[in-house]
Chains A and B, each alone.
Chain A
């Protein structure tokens, strides 16, 4: 208990660091993932190839390697002078976008073709079909996988702590260097992560219930 109270500001900063890393990289991942998913389902072969390559490459690369690319290669070759925070957020966002893309794409693929055919034969335009028929149905199937993707993202943000961004893993390192028992520290850090992940899964369950339709 003493560790938490004596170093409350450290824990708080770590907690907020993890939260902000998660939130910012989640936004990047969702936007990029949606764009790449749009590429992957488009009738334009070069864009489809690009989407497939993006997903295959990022899904099969360890996140740690991606962090090395972001921290060492990107400043050296492309954009010098970016902060570790920005670089980490982009590494996490790009990595997660591949998973978001796959979730969205498989969501669209679960919509029966007959639905869109019926919409088209009623004379709906592409936009109407997408907005009124396909996306509402796809959205429901996408919610559960999206929840687990975001929870995985929360856990993955801990890697940023190994690359000089202060968050919960950084707090754990600092405290263990101060000489506290690692078991106690681990307990508190674990609790902090549990708070975030349980809140996330609770929110998504609520969303799922709101969207659920009796069929």
Chain B
């Protein structure tokens, strides 16, 4: 909190006030937590009979199978959506107008459609007996369109001079794209691509609606079919399944942030840029640094 847009560095009085707020806020949050836990406890959600179901091999196996199905759908959708995204991005960057139009229309349409509506329609029309394929194709069409936009933005973010220089050396269109633009663009777009993959992973849970037996569906079946002394074990199952989902998504998100941090490291020993140094901040750059910053600028744009 050394230099925040909102607050000055706190003096003794502000520090005392912040301490007061911390104590009050902390107490309120603690109270909320205690309320939730007490409520769950008084409803008997922590009794052993509510959690006994996880002792059974059948239920463990069912959850594990669900997890495997989720990962299967995710990996298929991830690969296919990246392929589709690359194709659509290439189409949108094409020199031929009709190709560009068709790809733009496809991308805009599938990005605007709710995934659930698409998956359901695919399930009823084409993949009647195979919910896996309905889910995978639906995810591919939607996420592929989004990835296409990410890839296109990445390629457009490479400085124009790069392509011009490559053409001047006599390279062909494909060569320019594959050997000059794409390798540089990947650096910039990898974090965004991975965060979209997190979305893909989360959306595999839509398989619940079309009865694809993924993790959430397995959890739902267990919830409804098990009856304990305290009623259906909604809370235990939600806690277990939710933890698995959150951990999987967090792992992917951390991968994205890690790659982003790595990418921000300097290439040739020049001092690493501050996170927001690319935005022109008047006053942040000392005047004698200005000419050097101006030299840096074209490479970044």
Contacts and interface: CB of A to CB of B under 8 A. Distances in A.
Interface of A: 41-47, 50, 56-57, 59-65, 68-69, 72-73, 76-78, 108-116, 120, 126, 129-130, 134, 151, 154-159, 161-162, 168-169, 172-173, 176, 182-183, 185-186, 189-190, 193-194, 197-198
Given A158-B117, A176-B124, A116 B231 contact: no
Interface string B211-224: 00000100110010
A162 B210 CA distance: 10
A61 B201 CA distance: 10
A55 to B, nearest CB: 11
Interface in B239-267: 241-242, 245-246, 249-250, 253
Contacts of A57: 246
Interface string B4-21: 111110100010001001
Q: Determine chain A's interface SS by DSSP, over half rule.
A: helix
B250 A56 contact: yes
Contacts of B253: 60
B202 A63 contact: yes
A155 B114 contact: yes
B198 interface: yes
Shortest beta-carbon contacts, A-B, top 9: A62-B205, A60-B249, A46-B26, A155-B114, A158-B114, A114-B283, A64-B205, A186-B121, A62-B202
Contacts of B40: 77
B168 interface: no
Nearest to B32: A50
A87 B236 CA distance: 20
B29 A109 contact: no
B114 A78 contact: no
A77 B235 contact: yes
A112 B6 CA distance: 11
Interface of B: 1, 3-8, 10, 14, 18, 21-22, 25-26, 29, 39-40, 43, 45, 109, 112-118, 120-121, 124-125, 198, 202-206, 208-209, 216, 219-220, 223, 231-232, 234-235, 238, 241-242, 245-246, 249-250, 253, 276, 279, 281-284
A158 B1 contact: no
A107 to B, nearest CB: 11
A44 B6 CA distance: 13
Contacts of B39: 77-78
Contacts of A185: 121
Contact of A110 (B25, B124, B232, B279): B279
B25 A108 contact: no
Contact of B284 (A114, A183, A189): A114
Given A77-B39, A114-B281, A190 B5 contact: no
Contact of A68 (B18, B116, B216, B284): B216
Contacts of A64: 205-206, 208-209, 216
A114 B279 CA distance: 13
Nearest to B15: A43
Contacts of A78: 39
A50 to B, nearest CB: 6
A131 B6 CA distance: 11
A130 B216 contact: no
A74 to B, nearest CB: 10
A59 B195 CA distance: 11
19 contacts: A43-B10, A43-B18, A45-B22, A46-B25, A47-B29, A68-B219, A69-B238, A73-B235, A77-B43, A109-B5, A113-B4, A116-B6, A155-B112, A155-B115, A156-B114, A172-B121, A176-B124, A185-B121, A193-B113
A43 B231 contact: no
B8 A61 contact: no
Given A130-B6, A173-B120, A68 B279 contact: no
A59 B199 CA distance: 9
B284 A76 contact: no
B246 A120 contact: no
Given A65-B205, A65-B245, A110-B279, A159 B5 contact: no
Contact of A76 (B3, B7, B216, B234): B234
Contacts of B7: 43, 126
Nearest to A41: B6
Given A46-B22, A65-B241, A155-B113, A120 B8 contact: yes
